[in-house]
């Protein structure tokens, strides 16, 4: 009899937890997915055997457009094509600016040499950021001579897109870089600052969180802390402090294991000022890819309305529009 009561109580608790995290009656917390364009509208490349040291400019696919990553024209084209957020990379320069450029050195994409942050802004602007791109193993260079002066400063990006949402990537783990960026961001009008998010190394992100607590930030540490704490207590509906007012990248093979995924989970975090973006499956490496194909897009729940991180804005924006047209016709 006592064992029966225990099992009965356990069944009631399990049912309560299940219903508290079920999506049957949960309304989508947004009308459509938010699309994040990684590096703007950029050239695509072969990702076979990709490592953090790979020069991606030397393995691009045959170009289908004229844009180069991390440039103002590519960002503008991304917004025009349907991006809600554009991601960009920054490095400090020796003369006190932030340059918008992905690589740790300039050797891969430009005719220059050396560590990016060991240059002045004018020196970087004089480089041809299209110099190293090739789709045929170095036989031809379709963007050579077309990228001089295209490398922007962070200030130029802020001036060009004062009303757009941006995700800034700090490329180092230097806490001083977080301090320098906090000083610059604090100069922005409040409305513009509210549209900025930042991710990067644990140390600079910790500084940013301390200096600008209203800023949404993310690092490997903040992401890990949120996932672990939410896995332990998220079943109750409680959102731990580590998951509040932050940015979360959720691999498609991790999402289904999160309590309340997708709608209940998204609404819980939104209610605490956080944003989520789905990325490609995590495979144990230091990074995940974006949602870049129709096949990867279809792995998302049919009514998913969270964020989508992509390197193929042209593909994903059209798939989102098709889904909207289909849903509107039903």
What confidence score (pLDDT) does residue 13 get?
65
CA separation for the pair 80, 77 (Å, rounded): 5
C-alpha to C-alpha distances, 270 to 19, 208, 255, nearest whole angstrom: 20, 21, 16
Q: Which of the two residues, 245 and 325, has the higher pLDDT score?
A: 245
Return the residue matching tokens 């045959």. Answer: 62
What confidence score (pLDDT) does residue 289 get?
83
What confidence score (pLDDT) does residue 26 get?
76
Determine the average pLDDT of the residues in 294-319: 94
What confidence score (pLDDT) does residue 30 get?
82
Residue 34 reports pLDDT greater than 90: yes
pLDDT single digits (tens) 238-291: 999 999 999 999 999 999 999 999 999 999 999 999 999 999 998 776 656 899
Determine the average pLDDT of the residues in 12-40: 83
What confidence score (pLDDT) does residue 12 get?
66
pLDDT single digits (tens) 81-102: 999 999 999 999 999 999 999 9
Omega cis (within 30) before 151: no
CA separation for the pair 329, 125 (Å, rounded): 49
Of 327, 266, 319, the C-alpha closest to 292 is 319
Residue 103 reports pLDDT greater than 80: yes
Return the residue matching tokens 């002066």. Answer: 149
Total number of residues shown for the chain: 330
What confidence score (pLDDT) does residue 22 get?
83
CA separation for the pair 196, 215 (Å, rounded): 7
What confidence score (pLDDT) does residue 265 get?
96
Determine the average pLDDT of the residues in 204-231: 97
Residue-range domains of the chain with CATH: 2-47+68-103+157-329 (3.20.20.190)
With contact defined as beta carbons under 8 Å apart, do 136 and 113 qualify? no
For residue 289, the surrounding DSSP H or E stretch is none
Determine the average pLDDT of the residues in 17-35: 83
């Amino acid at each position: 009899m006592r064992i029966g009561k225990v099992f009965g109580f356990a069944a009631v608790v399990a049912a309560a937890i299940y219903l508290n995290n079920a999506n049957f009656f949960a309304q989508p917390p947004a009308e459509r997915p938010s699309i994040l364009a990684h590096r703007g509208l950029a050239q695509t490349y072969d990702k076979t055997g990709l490592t953090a040291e790979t020069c991606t400019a030397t393995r691009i696919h045959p170009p289908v457009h004229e844009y180069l990553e991390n440039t103002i024209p590519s960002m503008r084209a991304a917004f025009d094509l349907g991006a809600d957020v554009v991601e960009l990379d920054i490095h400090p320069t020796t003369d006190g600016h932030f340059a918008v450029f992905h690589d740790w050195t300039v050797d891969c994409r430009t005719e220059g040499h050396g560590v990016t942050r060991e240059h002045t802004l004018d020196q970087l602007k004089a480089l041809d950021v299209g110099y190293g791109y090739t789709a045929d193993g170095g036989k031809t260079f379709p963007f050579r001579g077309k990228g001089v002066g295209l490398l922007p400063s962070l200030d130029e990006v802020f001036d060009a897109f004062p009303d757009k949402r941006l995700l800034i990537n700090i490329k180092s783990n230097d806490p001083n870089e977080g301090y320098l960026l906090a000083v610059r961001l604090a100069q922005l009008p409040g409305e513009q600052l509210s549209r900025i998010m930042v991710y990067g190394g644990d140390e600079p992100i910790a500084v940013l969180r301390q200096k600008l607590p209203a800023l949404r930030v993310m690092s490997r540490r903040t992401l890990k802390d949120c996932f672990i704490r939410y896995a332990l207590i998220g079943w109750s509906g409680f959102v731990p402090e580590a998951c509040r007012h932050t940015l979360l990248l959720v691999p498609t093979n991790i999402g289904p294991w999160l309590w309340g995924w997708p709608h209940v989970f998204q609404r819980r975090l939104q209610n605490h000022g956080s944003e989520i973006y789905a990325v490609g499956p995590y495979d144990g490496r230091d990074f995940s890819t974006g949602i870049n194909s129709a096949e990867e897009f279809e792995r998302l729940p049919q009514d998913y309305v969270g964020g989508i991180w992509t390197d193929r804005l042209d593909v994903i924006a059209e798939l989102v529009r098709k889904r909207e047209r289909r849903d509107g016709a039903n």
